[in-house]
Amino acid sequence: MSRTRGGGRHLDEDDIRVRARGGSKPRTRNRPKHENAVEGLVTAVDRGRYRCLVNGVPVVAMKARELGRGSIVVGDRVDVVGDLSGRPDTLARVVRVRERASVLRRTADDTDPVERVIVANADQLAIVCALADPAPQPRFVDRCLVAAYDAGLEPLLCLTKADLAAPDEMLSTYEPLGLPYEVLGPEGDLDELRGRLADRTTVFVGSSGVGKSTLVNRLVPGTDRAVGHVNAVTGRGRHTSTSALALRFEGGWLIDTPGVRSFGLAHVSPRRSCPGSRTSPHSPPTARPPAPTSPTPRSAPSARLWHAARWTPSGWPRSAGSSAAARATTTPRTPRRRPAPTPDARRARVRSASTEGSTERAQAVRAPV
């Protein structure tokens, strides 16, 4: 900026602000290959920050922009670059997500097209169900079994709070499936359960208040996962766990997840059949399953899984007895439209209207006042 002797000033080119145009900055599609990236395991996700275990060191990382909106969940194997020291106030960057061996997912309900990935790369699903307080939910267990079979996970039924109720009814329900189970009490021995969980990646899934976090605290001392109580009025638990967390356990991993109120199965493909269903593996993929010739007892697990993922005219699946889901999944009827009139019919309609109008005017003129 130039100044004059009288205190005034003259504007020159330094006083004019010039904004850079969009094409002034060179751009390229050649992204860095990140050949020095280090593999890590995602153990927790918290508001856009990913806690990864890299070479035994916990590192906080963010997602690289080139990954887009793809979700990163607990259990993912990722490639990380940047500051991998794990010191406070340091931030690394996740640049790649490796191929997943398995994906456990759910939807909000049976008509919701949006899939919610729970965990990745797990090989065992522990379905935690309380025998009392809250009451057992066999329909929820059925849906978890369908999701486990669809994801290729081995199911494990964990019945908690055995000091409040007997497990005979639940065990007899799923006995024909040969489903492995563990009956657990507040002071019971966990040696058999530890043997089933060792050297495996197990995810715990269940409703709020069934004792998932309590069980994890007993298996991994010092974890201090938040626990709550069951509401005496509603009979439901509170959401004390807000995010999934992976913990080391005897050569494997335990993944504690928040409680879920609904387990939708809109993501299950009709071309996949699960054990215990009425669909034959040799039947054509689009064939409607045959109707039962005799009523099946409610205790039969094949019927329960059939109701958990049953065929509907417009898709697969929906919950049994849900009229709202049936109405939502039914294809809406297309309203019929009248064909457009021909030119001759249109002219005849105009002549008829003009004739009626002239007749009414003539009658009005001849009518006495």
Question: For the chain, what is the domain count?
Answer: 2
Tokens 């019971």 -> residue:
188
Paired tokens of 231: 């509401």
Average of pLDDT values for 174-199? 92
Most confident of 235-239, 267-271, 308-312: 267-271
Cβ–Cβ < 8 Å for 182, 196:
yes
Least confident of 35-44, 67-76, 221-230, 340-349: 221-230
| For residue 67, pLDDT beyond 50 | yes
Other Cβ atoms closer than 10 A to 231: 13
Q: Is 212 part of any domain? A: yes
For the segment 73-102, what is each residue's pLDDT rounded down to a tens digit? Answer: 999 999 999 999 999 999 999 999 999 999
CA distances from 258 to 41, 203, 209, 229, 364 (A): 20, 11, 10, 14, 81
- 175 and 220 in a single domain? The answer is yes
Q: How many residues does the chain have?
A: 369
* N-to-C CA span, the chain: 94
Domain boundary among the residues 214, 229, 256 is at 256
Higher pLDDT, 6 or 315: 6
Nearest to 110 by CA among 362, 321, 369, 304: 321
Residue 206: name the closest of 240, 249, 176 by CA. Answer: 240
Which pair of tokens denotes residue 360?
């009414």
Is residue 119 within 8 Å of residue 71, measured between CB atoms?
Answer: no
Q: How confident is the model at residue 60 (pLDDT cuts 50, 70, 90)?
A: very high
Structure tokens at 318: 């929906």
| 127 phi, psi to nearest 5 deg | -90, 110
Q: Confidence band (pLDDT; 50, 70, 90) for 329?
A: very low
**Assigned domain for 221 exists:** yes
**The whole model's pTM is what?**
0.66
Three-state DSSP class for residue 225: coil
Residues 113 and 213 in one domain: yes
Cα 254 to Cα 55, 83, 98, 205, 251, distances in angstroms? 19, 27, 20, 11, 10
Domain that holds residue 235: 103-256
Q: Give the DSSP H/E element, type plus range, for residue 344.
A: helix 343-366
Q: What is the pLDDT of residues 105-133, one digit of tens each?
A: 998 888 888 888 999 999 999 999 999 98
d(CA 240, CA 228): 6
- Residue 338 placed within a domain: no
Q: What is the pLDDT of residue 264?
A: 87
**pLDDT at residue 7 greater than cutoff 70:** no
**pLDDT of res. 241:** 60
Any domain includes 21: no
The model's confidence at residue 6, banded by pLDDT at 50, 70 and 90, is low
Indicate whether 162 and 178 sit together in one domain: yes
pLDDT at 179 over 90: yes
216 and 199, same domain (yes or no)? yes
Which residues of 99-240 form beta strands (DSSP E)?
A: 103-106, 116-120, 124-130, 154-160, 181-183, 201-205
**Calpha distance 84→34 (Å, rounded):** 14
Alpha carbon distance 37, 16 (integer Å): 45
d(CA 249, CA 92): 26
Q: Kindly state whether residues 125 and 70 are assigned to the same domain.
A: no
Per-residue pLDDT, 311: 38
Task: Name the band, by pLDDT with cuts 50, 70 and 90, for residue 296.
Answer: very low
The pLDDT-based confidence of 359 (bands split at 50, 70, 90) is: low
Contact 228, 209 (CB under 8 A): yes
The residue among 56, 82, 97 that closes a domain is 97
* Residue at 359 is within a domain: no
pLDDT of residue 74: 95
Looking at the structure, tell me whether residues 67 and 172 fall in a common domain: no
Residue 136 lies in a domain: yes
Identify the residue whose tokens are 């669809």: 150
For the chain, give the mean pLDDT: 76
User: Are 195 and 89 in a shared domain?
Assistant: no
Same domain, 160 and 219: yes
The encoded tokens of residue 326 equal 């049936």
The confidence score (pLDDT) of residue 288 equals 40
Domain match, 107 and 252 both: yes
Say which range, 58-72, 137-151, 272-286, 293-307, has the weakest mean pLDDT: 272-286
Residue 234 belongs to domain with CATH number: 3.40.50.300
Quote the CA–CA distance of 12 and 5 in Å, as a whole number. Answer: 16
On whether residue 231 sits in a domain, the answer given is yes
| Residues 112, 129 within the same domain | yes
Same domain as 219, residue 175: yes
Does a structural domain hold residue 1? Answer: no
CA pair distance 77, 121, nearest whole angstrom = 8
Among 172-181, 264-273, 277-286, 333-342, name the most confident range.
Answer: 172-181
In contact, 41 and 246? CB cutoff 8 Å: yes
Tokens at residue 161, please? 């709070």
Q: What is the DSSP string of 240-277?
A: ---S-EEEEETTEEEEE----S--B-TT--TT---TT-
Judge if 232 and 130 occupy the same domain: yes
Domain boundary among 97, 121, 146: 97
User: For residue 55, what is the domain's CATH number?
Assistant: 2.40.50.140
Both tokens assigned to 221: 């001392």
Pairing of the two strands 9-10 and 2-3: antiparallel
Among 206-220, 245-259, 270-284, the minimum mean pLDDT is found in 270-284
Q: Is residue 277 predicted with pLDDT exceeding 50?
A: no
> What is residue 325's predicted lDDT score, i.e. its pLDDT?
42
CB 264 within 8 A of CB 110: yes
Which 8-state DSSP code applies to residue 332? P
